Amino acid sequence: MPGVTSDSGELNSLSVVPHTLDTQKPRVYPLRLHRVTRPLARLSISWARGNTLRVSLLQTDDAASEQTPGGEVVEVKLGSADAGEIPEAQWRRIAYGSVAPFALLQSRKNSMDALHYEKDWWEHVMEYSKEINSLLGNTKSSVPPTIEDPKTVLKKVEEPTSLKAAWELMEMFYADKQSQTWIPERLLDWLADFDCLFSGTQPTVHAKLVSFQNKLVTIQAVENHPEYWEIMSSALAVGWLDVVVKLLRLHGSYLFDQLGSREIENGLVEAVALLISEMPRLRPDMPTEKIGECYSTKPEFMKAWEKWRAKITKLDCSAFWLQCDHQQTRVGLKNMLQVMLGNASVLSNVTYHWIELYISHFLYVRPFTVGLESMYSLAQKCMHLKPISYRHKLMGLIIGILEENTEVVLAECSRSFGPWMTTHAIELMAAGSTQAETLLHEEQSKIGGICIEELHRLTYAQILSSHALTWNIAPIYLTSCLKQGLGLLENLLYKQPVQHHLVLLKSMEICRLNGLDYVSYNMMKIAGVHYWKHGKKGSAVFWLQQARDEVRLNRIAKHLFDFVGKSVSDESFKQWEGMIELLGTESKTAGGLEFLKKYRDFRRSLQQVQEGITTDAARKAAEALISLMRNPSTPQQFWLPLLYDSLKLLNWQEGPLLNVSQTNLLLNKLQELSLARLLPGFVDAGLPPEALQSVRLALATNLGRAILEE
């Protein structure tokens, strides 16, 4: 499928990257048995509903007893083991959905001049990126409930995928030129959406928050719970300000019966919540559900930042802390103030992996950081402070991007996210970095003189070509490869089964769109030969006629002439009526079969003459006879039967139907036929012995009558 590459393939194929579909590791599905034990006498497997297997296990007579059953039936659902984040059906939807944006981007690239390319190209790339991103899922929350639970601090959203997270990273750093000044804020939003992806291998703020939210229902006074303050400090460190304010509002001092006795405590909680809500953010706008004050320019942000930090320092030194009797509240709020003041040791304690620590440093320690070089040095520092035993694939991609190492980014995309990601993300990389664009488009002698961009497109196209449900979108990517794309496209089209009508029509449409008329004609010839070998003579003649294959049509004509009736009364000709209708009106495409169509028309008119129709019908029959005798496609073996069947026309009593020149033409044909009898290989028509003399006498009589009439 589009997300999986393979390592080997046929050596005699035209593949740039050999591959096969048989390299996937076999999946193991465990059987959860409850009643039967070994040894087993018999195992039976059958299909159940959907993609479920029904496994029947029967025990031996020795193992079975009155207390234990003699067998057990269990069901195993296929596809659940090692299925990956994205199932194959979803991969195909992504593959088909990404074709249109990719093709449109290539079309725009080919039509833009150099001046507009430098100025406006990133806008087209961003439009392309947004369309691709929409195929990878939605991280927005679902429809909110009518009555909102005050203890729900995290909204339910669609489970994100690493593929979408990786794509948004590539878009953020390479394609979106407008967000270059506020990349730290973009990273904060990114972590809020995808921090849950890291929860499978290591502790995260998101995992701790989900766990605590499940406990909130059973907790009476949250301010007495140590985990309450730990979670708020962690969420505050990674910038989830709305979550922190919601949790602060759950503090017991907000209860009506507590306001009078806990006024100082409530005031301190509210002061911290207000400071959090007023936190300056260097970004142009903010989603409605987020909190903070936005500043679009750096000078304004710096002024607001200094004022905000002064307020925090003032609150931290306030005398009201001495009047707060609740120790957990006092310690928890003071710890949150240290987070906002950028205490490095506190930030390290309340975050769980280096990316969370990285974001917290952007927010509270180095809010004015710009440039990938300084961002990479900070990332190295955070990785040193928060070493990890297992590196998630997204972490490797982030490091490669911050390091500005195009080779590492390509390797991570290919290894972790597959050929689809690499092929489509290359467009973002080329638009965001001149160095990356040069590397991607430079021809490499080690890979046959093609560039890296073309190599990855060819690899992805081959993966598409190897599947019956995606082969028809592979040409979009092959035609974008200038060096070897068209050659591999021809190879792909020739490998398609011509016996499937819809596949053949699709292949011909692909040929038409890409100017491969000769490939289309060859495929129609192959289809014609295939149908002829399998007894479908009508379909064979149709496709050979469409291919204008005169050679094979003439061979078929010679083969059919032995079965066509030699006289008007012969009924064997009727079985070919349907196939003759397929020849249509374009005689140029019929080859030797053109004779059959004219012969059929002549037989019909001659039949009317024998039934006693008027002289006008007889003249039309005579004209059809002359047309047949003049036509070079009329086989010589049919000359005498045609003339013998036309004796009534030659001896027409009301007057000669043929003039002198027409009669001389027929006499010359008759003379030529007499000489051909002496040559080896002559095919006798099987007529009576007196047929030749009868025809010659009738022609001589008609010639005399025609001379007298003229």
What DSSP letter does each residue of 461-509 carry, written as one string? HHHHHTSTTTGGGHHHHHTT-TTTHHHHHHHHHHTS-TTSHHHHHHHHH
| Residue 114: per-residue pLDDT | 58
| Residue 32: per-residue pLDDT | 67
Q: What percent of the chain has pLDDT over 70?
A: 82
**Position with higher pLDDT, 678 vs 273:** 273
CA distances, 397 to each of 90, 380, 391, 521 (Å): 23, 14, 10, 47
Strand, coil or helix: what is 454?
Answer: helix
**Position with higher pLDDT, 503 vs 30:** 503
| Residue whose C-alpha is closest to residue 468's, from 487, 496, 504, 502 | 496
Q: How confident is the model at residue 137 (pLDDT cuts 50, 70, 90)?
A: confident
Cα 230 to chain centroid, rounded: 45
Q: Model confidence over 182-204: pLDDT tens digits?
A: 888 899 999 999 998 888 778 89
CA separation for the pair 580, 542 (Å, rounded):
10
Q: In what order do the strands lie in the sheet with 40-47?
A: 40-47, 52-59, 71-77
Mean per-residue pLDDT, 252-262: 76
Q: How confident is the model at residue 694 (pLDDT cuts 50, 70, 90)?
A: confident
Q: Model confidence over 464-519: pLDDT tens digits?
A: 998 888 999 999 999 999 888 899 999 999 999 988 889 999 999 999 998 899 99
Structure tokens at 85: 């984040």
CA distances, 475 to each of 212, 492, 493 (Å): 51, 9, 9
Q: How confident is the model at residue 285 (pLDDT cuts 50, 70, 90)?
A: confident
| Residue 190: per-residue pLDDT | 92
CA distances, 182 to each of 187, 276, 402, 433, 503 (Å): 9, 20, 15, 18, 50
Structure tokens at 140: 């927005």
| Residue 520: per-residue pLDDT | 92
Task: Give the type of residue at 136.
Answer: L
CA separation for the pair 651, 701 (Å, rounded):
8
| Residue 119: per-residue pLDDT | 66
Q: Model confidence over 403-426: pLDDT tens digits?
A: 989 999 999 999 999 999 999 999
Residues 6+ apart with CB under 8 A from 68: 35, 36, 37, 59
CA separation for the pair 540, 537 (Å, rounded):
5
Residues in the chain: 710
CA distances, 442 to each of 115, 435, 452 (Å): 21, 11, 7
Q: Model confidence over 529-574: pLDDT tens digits?
A: 999 888 888 888 888 888 888 888 777 776 666 655 444 445 555 5
Q: Model confidence over 580-629: pLDDT tens digits?
A: 555 544 444 444 556 666 777 777 777 776 666 667 777 888 888 888 88
| Residue 611: per-residue pLDDT | 64
Mean pLDDT, the chain, rounded, equals 81
CA separation for the pair 581, 579 (Å, rounded):
5
Q: How confident is the model at residue 670 (pLDDT cuts 50, 70, 90)?
A: confident
Q: Model confidence over 317-346: pLDDT tens digits?
A: 888 888 888 888 889 999 999 999 999 999
Mean per-residue pLDDT, 156-172: 88
257 class by beta-carbon count within 10 Å (0-12 exposed, 13-18 middle, 19+ buried): exposed
Torsion of the alpha carbons at 10, 12, 16 and 21, rounded to the nearest 10: -20
Structure tokens at 126: 């961003």
| Residue 589: per-residue pLDDT | 45
Structure tokens at 22: 């048989």
Q: How confident is the model at residue 682 (pLDDT cuts 50, 70, 90)?
A: low
pLDDT over threshold 90, residue 100: yes
**Position with higher pLDDT, 31 vs 698:** 698
Q: How many CB atoms lie within 10 A of CB 120?
A: 12
| Residue whose C-alpha is closest to residue 348's, from 326, 365, 329 | 365
Residues 6+ apart with CB under 8 A from 247: 153, 222, 228, 231, 232, 235
CA separation for the pair 465, 492 (Å, rounded):
7
